Amino acid sequence: MDFKPLGDSALLVSFGEVIDEETNDRVHALAKAIERANFEWLVEVVPAYSSLAIIYDPGLIDFNGVKRAVEGLEFSAGRFEGKLVEIPVVYGGEYGPDLEFVAQYNGLTPEEVIELHSKPIYRVYFLGFLPGFAYLGGMDERIATPRLKKPRLKVPAGSVGIAGKQTGIYPLESPGGWRLIGRTPLKLFNPSKEPPTLLQPGDRVKFVPIDEEKFREIYRTEWGQEND
């Protein structure tokens, strides 16, 4: 483990630069061990692909104190696996305006992109950028595509995008530069629920292609209104 300060009230524990499930398992195992220890100085732990941010109260402890406490923990990096969540997606058209580009960029047909994107079972490595935005690992590199050079000012909630070798889902309407290939009618972030995010780190995700009629049916149930 490599420790680095993040300002005066946080530190970053790094397990290397590799993005894989084994490394991410170690990140989450350490996060759970810290939470179980119930340190009075702990504010929050924030897992990422291969690192863990530990936010602490600087009035109670300093960087070196946190480092010693974490180094003294015993934890076993077993398989960290959550629930399997099926995400219905309508691909292409107004819902996925970049599907054609992704296909052309990779020398594929749109149908092949859809098949390659919906075939794997993805892993939620961590949440970030927006509440409930899940960074998913396991995408087929044959559909990897660079981000937009100029981000869109408005990306609809539920949009499914590709950025490099990653894929993810926008839980809220926001600006964004990922290549949009589809959209899910599910509500991924709902502050009135507990937990407020549909997906959690360690969950597995399976994309399921649907048609526009099914999209509208699910959308009405989830959002209580017609899709705009």
d(CA 145, CA 103): 9
Q: How sure is the predictor about 202, in pLDDT bands with cuts at 50, 70 and 90?
A: confident
Domains, the chain, in order of start with CATH, read: 2-71 (3.30.1360.40), 84-223 (2.40.100.10)
For residue range 117-145, list pLDDT tens digits in order: 999 999 998 887 788 888 898 899 999 99
| Lowest mean pLDDT across 39-53, 76-90, 188-202, 211-225 | 76-90
For residue range 58-84, list pLDDT tens digits in order: 999 999 999 999 998 887 666 666 789
Decide the pairing of beta strands 159-163 and 152-155: unpaired
Residues in CB range of 92: below 8 A, 6 or more apart: 99, 100, 110, 114, 181, 182
Amino acid at 53: A
The pLDDT mean for the chain works out to 91
pLDDT of 57 over the 80 cut? yes
In terms of C-beta density within 10 A (0-12 exposed, 13-18 middle, 19 or more buried), how is residue 96 classed? buried
Q: What pLDDT shows up at residue 80?
A: 65
pLDDT of 150 over the 70 cut? yes
Q: What pLDDT shows up at residue 75?
A: 76
pLDDT above 90 covers what percent of the chain?
64
